[in-house]
């Protein structure tokens, strides 16, 4: 096995800094005040990063990957006499449907093209439906790399007074966002995407006034968001079950590095710059992007496989040179993806571009 550190050009988990990995070299006890203070500090910093008023919002941490967070919200806040509308334009919208099916959460789904933003003119009539109480959608659809218009969608949801549930897994910390302004009810993200932490923790922002009413809804014990929230609040940073202590330490370090490097606005600019450099190099070698530029998210780009191109050979070549690319996820397109988030240095991008030249000039 080649165990060299790889540059992960994927949507997460992604390349983390050495100092983030080093933060995990210390073991902590979960019932100790030092650890609980750390948890509270991280929760508070997360609220600040989201521009979320502490009196209005709470940030609940849940063990597991991002999907655990989405499943926790969908199963904990929609009652049996209510109905959540899923607005889907990708695999992660479809996953919300799978969650609702498995847990028998009342839902309906409206599906749209995966190549474009959710069409505002079409979704309004769906959101307006009398039987709908909650609306769930994905902000940055990682499937094709589409960024949905969260501001306009939130405005529609408010117009019809529904509860909003946003999967912001691959968008949170990729671009400036204010929960106070967007007035989102539930927003889910993860430690291992644009926050540049390690996998193992879902982060759930929730409006206290709504979550306070969600006792006893969740049919699952470990995914019960209300119970997790209560324990975390009353226990001053306690988790109900074993907490991923190392993941939390890494997250604290990652957030510190985010702030030191200029915060989310600077990270957004950096992502755009890396994405642009890679895209220009790819276009030079005859690739085409799948998603129109106006709908493109700043985290991952889908490229169509051109005539005679074999992605598995291309993947292996880059893997041998310590870069991991990402396969496509769209059933009807022969395509693959290149992510541009994580701790990617300018030198990593330079070398990627050189390898690309070498692949087409020498290898193929």
Ligand X SMILES: *Cc1c(COP(=O)(O)O)cnc(C)c1O
Q: Whose Cβ is closer to ligand X: residue 35's or residue 337's? A: 337
Instruction: Find the farthest-apart pair of alpha carbons in the chain and give their distance in angstroms, rounded.
Output: 63
Q: How far is the CB of 142 from ligand X (least distance, A)?
A: 3
Q: Whose Cβ is closer to ligand X: residue 140's or residue 154's? A: 140
Q: Whose Cβ is closer to ligand X: residue 65's or residue 154's? A: 65
190 near ligand X, judged by CB under 6 A: yes
The DSSP secondary-structure symbol of 166 reads E
Choosing from 49, 50, 57, 66, the residue that interacts with ligand X (CB under 6 A) is 66
SS3 of residue 175 by DSSP: strand
169 near ligand X, judged by CB under 6 A: yes
Q: Whose Cβ is closer to ligand X: residue 167's or residue 224's? A: 167
Choosing from 71, 97, 167, 185, the residue that interacts with ligand X (CB under 6 A) is 167
For the chain, counts of helices (H) and of strands (E): 13, 15
Exposure b/e, 326-336, CB count within 10 A at least 16 = b: bebbbeeeebb
Task: With beta carbons less than 8 A apart as the criterion, state whether 122 and 112 touch.
Answer: yes
Task: With beta carbons less than 8 A apart as the criterion, state whether 11 and 167 touch.
Answer: no
Task: With beta carbons less than 8 A apart as the criterion, state whether 209 and 58 touch.
Answer: no
Q: Return the residues of window 294-353 that contact ligand X according to CB under 6 A.
A: none
Q: Whose Cβ is closer to ligand X: residue 99's or residue 356's? A: 99
Q: How far apart are the C-alpha atoms of 205 and 202, rounded to whole Å?
A: 10
Q: Whose Cβ is closer to ligand X: residue 202's or residue 356's? A: 202
Task: Give the number of other Cβ atoms within 10 Å of residue 44's Cβ.
Answer: 12
Q: Which stretch binds ligand X (CB under 6 A): 64-72, 117-125, 232-240, 354-362?
A: 64-72
71 near ligand X, judged by CB under 6 A: no
Q: How far is the CB of 67 from ligand X (least distance, A)?
A: 3
Q: Which stretch binds ligand X (CB under 6 A): 76-84, 165-173, 220-228, 310-318?
A: 165-173
Q: How far apart are the C-alpha atoms of 239 and 303, rounded to whole Å?
A: 42
Question: In the complex, which residues of this chain contact ligand X (CB under 6 A)?
Answer: 11-12, 65-67, 92, 138, 142, 167, 169-170, 190
């Amino acid at each position: 096995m080649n165990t060299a550190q790889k540059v992960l050009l994927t949507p997460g988990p992604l390349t983390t800094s050495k100092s983030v990995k080093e933060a995990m070299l210390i073991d902590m006890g979960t019932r100790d005040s030092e650890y609980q203070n750390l948890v509270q500090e991280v929760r508070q910093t997360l609220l600040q990063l989201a521009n979320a008023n502490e009196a209005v919002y709470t940030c609940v941490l849940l063990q597991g990957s991002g999907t655990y967070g989405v499943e926790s919200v969908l199963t904990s806040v929609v009652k049996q006499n209510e109905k959540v509308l899923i607005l889907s334009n990708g695999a992660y919208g479809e996953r919300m449907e799978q969650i609702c099916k498995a847990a028998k959460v009342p839902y309906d789904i409206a599906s749209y093209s995966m190549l474009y933003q959710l069409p505002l003119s079409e979704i309004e009539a769906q959101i307006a439906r009398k039987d709908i109480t909650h609306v769930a959608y994905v902000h940055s659809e990682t499937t094709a790399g589409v960024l949905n218009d969260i501001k306009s969608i939130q405005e529609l949801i408010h117009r019809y007074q529904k509860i909003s549930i946003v999967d912001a897994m691959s968008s949170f910390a990729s671009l400036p966002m204010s929960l106070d302004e967007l007035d989102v009810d539930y927003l889910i993200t993860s430690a291992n995407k644009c926050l540049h932490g390690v996998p193992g923790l879902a982060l759930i922002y929730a409006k206290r006034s709504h979550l306070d009413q969600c006792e006893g809804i969740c049919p699952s014990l470990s995914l019960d968001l209300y119970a997790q929230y209560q324990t975390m609040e009353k226990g001053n940073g306690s988790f109900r079950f074993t907490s991923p202590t190392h993941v939390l330490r890494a997250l604290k370090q990652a957030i510190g590095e985010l702030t030191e490097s200029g915060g989310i606005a600077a990270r957004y600019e950096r992502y755009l710059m890396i994405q642009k450099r890679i895209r220009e190099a790819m276009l030079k070698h005859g690739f085409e992007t799948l998603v129109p530029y106006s709908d493109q998210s700043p985290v991952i780009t889908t490229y169509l496989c051109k005539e005679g191109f074999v992605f598995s050979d291309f993947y292996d070549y880059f893997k041998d040179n310590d870069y991991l690319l990402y396969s496509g996820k769209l059933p009807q397109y022969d395509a693959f993806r290149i992510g541009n988030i994580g701790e990617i240095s300018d030198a990593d991008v330079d070398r990627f571009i050189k390898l690309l030249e070498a692949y087409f000039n020498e290898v193929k």
